Amino acid sequence: MNVLLTGAFGNVGTSTLDELLRQGHAVRCFDLRTPANERTARRYGDRIEVVWGDLRVPADVAAAVAGVDVVLHVAFIIPKMSATGIESELRPDFAEAVNVGGTRNVIAAMEAQPVPPKLVFTSSLHVYGRTQHLAPPRTVAETPHPIEHYARHKIKCEEMIRASGLDWAILRLAATFPLALKLDPGMFDVPLDNRMEYVHTRDVGLALANAVGSDEIWGKTLLIGGGQRCQHIFGDMVARIVGAMGLDMFPGEAFATVPFATDWLDTEESQRLLRYQTRTLDDYLRDMTRLLGPRLPFVRVFKSVVRRSLIAQSPHWRRHLARQRTSGWAGKTALVTGASSGIGAAVARKLAHRGVKVVLVARRADRLELLADEIRRDGGEAQVIVADLADDGVCAGVLAQAGAIDILVNNAGFGWYGYGADMPWSVAREMIQTNMMALAHLTLWVLRNMQARGSGHIINISSISGSLPEQGTAMYSATKSFVDNFTTALYRELHGSAVRVSLVRPGPVQTEFYDRAASQPDGRRIPGERFAITPEQVAARVIAVLRRPRRVVYAPSWLRVVPWVEPIFGWIIDLLGPALLRRSPVTH
């Protein structure tokens, strides 16, 4: 058969591709054109057809779907680092555009074919949420209770597929470890006493390849797991994996304690229809030992160093150490605005890990609840306040709900890119209200209370744009210049007191800031995203300035030279003029 395989060069994708070729199918591979994917594609030579593209682009998807008999839709942005370099939980809007929007494009392209192909969609057992309090196994008949963006995206895709006019099958996969030498830090997110069903990536590939020729799976949702031989307690699995490497078991503090969305599955029907359960965890251990090859003796000789380096990748272990170092933070309360994603969410996590109660403020209730749930799962304390800070009347209500605040992190804000004359006043007004007025209102209100109590720290998140205004960001740069000057003046007023005010000035940051700017009326995507640092790097600077108060810190630190660029080299930027603005003027 002619088969289209999306996400062909990922973990499950390559296992499926190998099995499809072994069974003699003609395979068209669809994936992002990245150096890693190109290297993988070259291994297959002319045995495959490759269509490079983006699931978000209907034309790319249509070109890939044309003329095939079956579509195996595997591509998806996952909770931990994917081939795109993006995590679904850190940039959920972007991930939803790929996961849900991309699946919508696949369905539309298939329905537009003269003879629509059949669709096999890979979903996940994550859709069931936390089920450790229920008796196993999980069944198809159970109602999903997703607890993360990734699982919610899977459910949305399943619903669209069932509502389509296509012949479809949905396969919900159990835990599928990649065959790679790099440790997935996500393993530490699973408690040691959690039930987990393992399925070998090659068995998943076999199930998907066998689905192509099946007459019985259409219209069914099937659970794909390794079977009873692969049903384990997670701690036992970890002990066997690290033991195979010659290492001692990791400490319990390196692992989460709140149940994870994984469990044992009822795979009787899927095994009867697809005949794919051929491997166990022992096969995975043998595969990993072969991959280590000549490295294995060195791992065993230097096992103490290797073990420490692996444990250091655990966020839970780092939090354990942080709590030991910062026990004095316990009992404090921090209010973080713009906490639903990006810098705000990263700051909230780091504060909560240090025992600080975090009050999360933003417009999107679902995002805040997911973050609060995550923080509580890690043993932290979080309060959610849903508020649009662009509305000047809500600030007092937010503070009334939050109570006494020891730390205020003013992070809420957004940008817009384009010629100033093209900027709708409604967007400009909202930006002024969010970036300036809300920040000033919260700062002054909280400042009075902190002065009355004799302690507190206010941190305002600004931007390097405040001292280096550039074409296309006139209003945004102006709002950040206000933040810089407002904070600096307050810092000088408070010098010598027990109340602190600090400024954090990041450069480009990998957040939804770019997505929101591009989605604004008449706006465009702000350049510089490829040079962006992570929200966690900015959050680390926030923690650093809380530990050692200063007027201003930069993220990254070398950006402290930027304030000197404008007075010395600003004339060059002036001469370049509109050439730096990456779009043509709008004609009216």
Q: What is the pLDDT of residue 66?
A: 97
User: Which span out of 179-183, 258-262, 417-421, 459-463 was modeled with the highest average pLDDT?
Assistant: 459-463
Phi/psi of residue 341, each to 5°? -165, 180
Domains in the chain and their CATH numbers? Answer: 2-185+196-232+260-294 (3.40.50.720), 326-580 (3.40.50.720)
280 CB contacts (<8 Å, ≥6 apart)?
198, 200, 226, 229, 230
Share of the chain above pLDDT 90, in %: 65
**Residue 559: pLDDT band with limits 50, 70, 90:** confident
358-to-123, 409, 545 alpha-carbon distances in Å: 33, 10, 17
Q: What is the pLDDT of residues 358-373, one digit of tens each?
A: 999 999 998 899 899 8
Q: Is the pLDDT of residue 384 over 80?
A: yes
Which range is least confidently modeled, 367-371, 492-496, 577-581? 577-581
The band of 587, judged by pLDDT with boundaries at 50, 70 and 90, is: very low
Q: Is the dihedral of CA 153, 159, 165, 171 positive or negative?
A: positive
Please report the pLDDT score of residue 530 as a whole number: 66
Q: Is the pLDDT of residue 502 over 70?
A: yes
Give the model confidence (pLDDT) of 165-215 as tens digits.
Answer: 999 999 999 999 888 767 777 889 899 999 999 999 999 999 999 999 999
3-state secondary structure of 84: coil
* pLDDT tens column, 235-294: 999 999 999 888 899 999 999 888 999 999 999 999 999 999 999 999 999 999 998 888
Mean pLDDT, range 131-137, rounded to an integer = 96
pLDDT of res. 586: 36
Catalytic residue IDs: 476
Average predicted confidence (pLDDT) for the chain: 89
Mean pLDDT score, 533-551:
92
Residue 328 burial by CB count (10 A; 0-12/13-18/19+): exposed, middle or buried? exposed
pLDDT attached to residue 493: 94
Looking at residues 557-581, what average pLDDT do you find? 73
Candidate ranges 185-189, 319-323, 441-445; pick with highest mean pLDDT = 441-445
Asked whether the predicted pLDDT for residue 65 surpasses 80, the reply is yes
Opening angle at CA 366, ends 361 and 372, nearest 5: 60
